[in-house]
């Protein structure tokens, strides 16, 4: 028991000292796994996905994905440099791939490895819609959300160990009951809100990035209206979801769009590319 308590105490110390700062919010975030470990693993995983997928090249759509990605990357660097975070992207290895798949999906891995699936293009509908998606996905990487989710998962596991230690002298049935209660509680009260906050944060950062890149941020809310229509109304209640509800997201994007336009003006962007 003393050994286990010592391990838990060490774990608490690790939680306290293993922090990073989110450059977009200034908040301290959990960082149990550094980028020196995270990026190589991310790059390897990306290469595996690319190897196993059909990559679209030499088409207008593939060229658009690269073009938008490069503009978002430039916008991110401009914003970070202007706000005192020079060199933040030094270890990023930007890459943009269009994958042939019916999946309605896109993602950006830690370190700047981006994939778009052809299945999401009809919902994006235009280059500005692609920029809204791209900005959001890149924002996840820039804000170290992958790192934070890995860290929170480790913390949740440590909590499970603590529950097991605390109930070690009880019957197997009671131990199982407590572990189930902890699993449900930590997800609904901890992990899911944590994930939703990441989505909302990425929406805001992504909106700013697309605006600084010269894309009209008003289109982000329109994109999510199309996402909502495509979902067929089958989304779970917000408190049981890793994402905000579509209606919450649309309202938030509409409220943030004027702020994104004001931010873009700081970088000389006074008009946006046509939506087509």
Over residues 160-206, the pLDDT tens digits come to: 444 445 555 655 565 454 345 434 343 433 333 436 577 888 899 99
pTM: 0.73
- The pLDDT score that the predictor gives to residue 131 is 97
- The pLDDT score that the predictor gives to residue 33 is 58
Angle at which helix 246-265 crosses helix 218-231, to 10 degrees, equals 160
Q: Which of 144, 125, 140, 130 is nearest to 98 (CA)?
A: 130
Judged against a pLDDT cut of 60, whether residue 122 lies above it is answered with yes
- The pLDDT score that the predictor gives to residue 239 is 34
Choice among 41-45, 86-90, 133-137, 178-182 with the minimum mean pLDDT: 178-182
Beta strands 55-56 and 28-30, pairing class: unpaired
d(CA 73, CA 51): 24
d(CA 157, CA 155): 5
Output the CA–CA distances (angstroms, integers) from residue 18 to 23, 34, 112, in the order listed. 16, 9, 23
- Quote the percentage of the chain above a pLDDT of 70: 65
CB neighbours of 239 closer than 8 A, spacing ≥ 6? 188, 192
d(CA 23, CA 10): 28
The phi, psi pair for 87, rounded to 5°, reads: 85, 0
Residue 78 banded pLDDT, cuts 50, 70, 90:
very high
* Widest distance between CA atoms in the chain: 68
Q: Which of 85, 140, 63, 60 is nearest to 107 (CA)?
A: 140
**Does the active-site annotation cover 222?**
no
Judged against a pLDDT cut of 90, whether residue 16 lies above it is answered with no
- The pLDDT score that the predictor gives to residue 24 is 72
Q: Which of 270, 208, 232 is nearest to 76 (CA)?
A: 208
Mean pLDDT of 82-96: 92
Judged against a pLDDT cut of 70, whether residue 232 lies above it is answered with no
Task: Count the residues in the chain.
Answer: 276
Selected catalytic residue, list 63, 100, 102, 137? 137
The string of pLDDT tens digits covering residues 18-70 is 556 667 776 665 555 566 777 888 889 899 999 999 999 999 999 999 999 99
Token pair in block for residue 9: 């105490």
Residue 14 banded pLDDT, cuts 50, 70, 90:
very low
- The pLDDT score that the predictor gives to residue 40 is 85
Beta strands 106-109 and 95-99, pairing class: unpaired
- The pLDDT score that the predictor gives to residue 32 is 52
The whole-chain average pLDDT of the chain stands at 77
- The pLDDT score that the predictor gives to residue 100 is 96
Residue 9 banded pLDDT, cuts 50, 70, 90:
very low
Mean pLDDT of 205-234: 90
Long-range CB contact pairs, 77-81, < 8 A, 24+:
78/212, 78/267, 79/208, 79/209, 79/212, 79/267, 80/23, 80/142
Choice among 9-13, 33-37, 138-142 with the minimum mean pLDDT: 9-13
d(CA 14, CA 215): 42
Judged against a pLDDT cut of 50, whether residue 156 lies above it is answered with no
CB neighbours of 65 closer than 8 A, spacing ≥ 6? 96, 97, 98, 114, 116, 130, 134
d(CA 38, CA 111): 8
């Amino acid at each position: 028991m003393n050994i286990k308590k010592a391990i838990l105490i060490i774990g608490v110390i690790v939680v306290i000292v293993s922090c990073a700062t989110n450059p977009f919010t200034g908040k301290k975030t959990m960082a149990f796994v550094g980028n020196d470990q995270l990026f190589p693993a991310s790059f390897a995983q990306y290469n595996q996905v690319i190897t196993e997928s059909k990559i679209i090249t030499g088409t207008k759509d593939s060229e658009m994905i690269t073009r938008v990605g490069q503009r978002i990357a430039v916008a991110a660097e401009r914003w970070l440099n202007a706000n005192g975070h020079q060199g933040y992207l030094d270890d990023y290895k930007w890459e943009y791939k269009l994958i042939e798949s019916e999946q309605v999906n896109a993602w950006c891995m830690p370190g700047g490895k981006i994939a778009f699936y052809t299945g999401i293009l009809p919902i994006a509908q235009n280059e500005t819609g692609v920029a809204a998606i791209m900005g959001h996905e890149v924002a996840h990487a820039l804000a170290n959300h992958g790192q934070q989710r890995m860290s929170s998962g480790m913390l949740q596991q440590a909590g499970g160990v603590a529950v097991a230690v605390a109930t070690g002298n009880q019957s197997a049935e009671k131990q199982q009951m407590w572990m189930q209660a902890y699993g449900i509680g930590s997800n609904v009260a901890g992990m899911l809100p944590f994930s939703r906050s990441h989505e909302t944060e990425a929406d805001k950062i992504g909106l700013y990035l697309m605006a600084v890149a010269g894309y009209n941020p008003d289109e982000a809310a329109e994109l999510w209206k199309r996402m909502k229509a495509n979902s067929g109304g089958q989304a779970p209640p917000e408190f049981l979801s890793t994402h905000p509800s579509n209606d919450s997201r649309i309202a938030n994007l509409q409220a943030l769009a004027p702020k994104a336009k004001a931010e873009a003006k700081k970088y000389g962007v006074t008009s946006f590319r046509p939506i087509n």
